[in-house]
Structure 1
Amino acid sequence: MKSIIPFDRPVCGEDIINLRERLGISVSDMMWLLGLTAAHWGEITSDKTNESGQKKYTAPVADPAVALLARWLDAHIDDAARLVPTWPTPKELFDRLKQYPESPSMGTIDRKRLGLCLGRDATTGSRWLMKDRADSGTPANIDRLLYFVTSAIDDRGADAWVEYRRLAQHEASLRGEPNLDQAPGWPSAKSS
């Protein structure tokens, strides 16, 4: 694949934005890939003007290491794509779980409990599983959680879900919810 970052000028924020789009990854994944904080990302990609009157995203990236990393990833796009996992969707996890029979340890597998077991309210699972949804609508922390839980289920089957479900129920009880399966959502954390 041909590089998109021009070789006749320094790397600028707009190049970073275009590279992220080329990779088809989220802003949080691109920040991770380049080792950027949210503040640094905002500084590079902002449409505000800098002290010389230039839009920040058209200005050269201040950190040469970030610019070099962006050029390397642009020139080796396949390497970049391998570094960021394809995050499973809530529907993919839901479909995997539906392959297993319900049992007291597995619990009921439905939309409500999917949302609750992933740390959200009872209605979130329904939104995630809408048929016309173009994306999963999940934040980065849920993407990571889905990745690890789905990977564990792929490796160990239903036992991994049983272990994870116990973990979720335990955390809920520590927060004051004795029965996560019946809860409308997660209670606020209680201070110790």
Structure 2
Amino acid sequence: MEPLEQITEFKTSPELIGKLYEYCIRKEYKAGSVVLNENTHIRAIPIVTKGTLRVIRMEEDGREILLYYINAGESCIMSFLGGLHNETSKVKAEVEEDAEILFLPMDKVSLFIKEYPQWLDYIFRLYHKRFEELLEIVNAIAFKRVDERLLNLLQKKSELIQSKTIQITHEQLANELGTARVVVSRLLKQLEENSIVQLGRNKISLM
């Protein structure tokens, strides 16, 4: 089954799927590639058909915090809202795993909203999911200890790649959590001492 046919909202509209394949531009990206930068104009919205993206918010001092992941079959709701209102991007999107992405030009996005209720259902579902994920981020920052957030992040990454071993540096984890590298290194050492993780060179294995 083709990627778009697997999206629940699109299954009842072969015409919409056909139009998406007709108008979208297909691109492939390697892990680590930047798909969207902050403060850039949004000309098209991405629909991920393979791989995973991570959406990050950056502060002026260079610190980052992970907002959410975009998996296969999903799009970036921040790109959708920004492009629809002719605004620049407020986030950065990077490739977590090698990805294939379909880019739908913004003029077609507006057209599809008017002509295909399934497209609007798709956007609303994504908006609801991202809103819940951002609430989780706010809750974690406000009420959870950094060690809890670190372990949750490692578990989420493990689920995404379907592997207990994660290739990542302490610096990258610190950036995604919005904290200092020395804090992450100290907490990882504690997790290792408690037999929760095993540390290697630029990799971490969940026990």
TM, length-normalised to structure 1: 0.29
TM, length-normalised to structure 2: 0.27
Determine which structure has greater relative contact order: mean sequence separation of CA pairs < 8 Å that are 6+ residues apart, divided by chain length.
2
Indicate the structure (1 or 2) with the bigger Cα radius of gyration.
1
Looking at secondary structure, tell me which structure has more helix per residue: 1
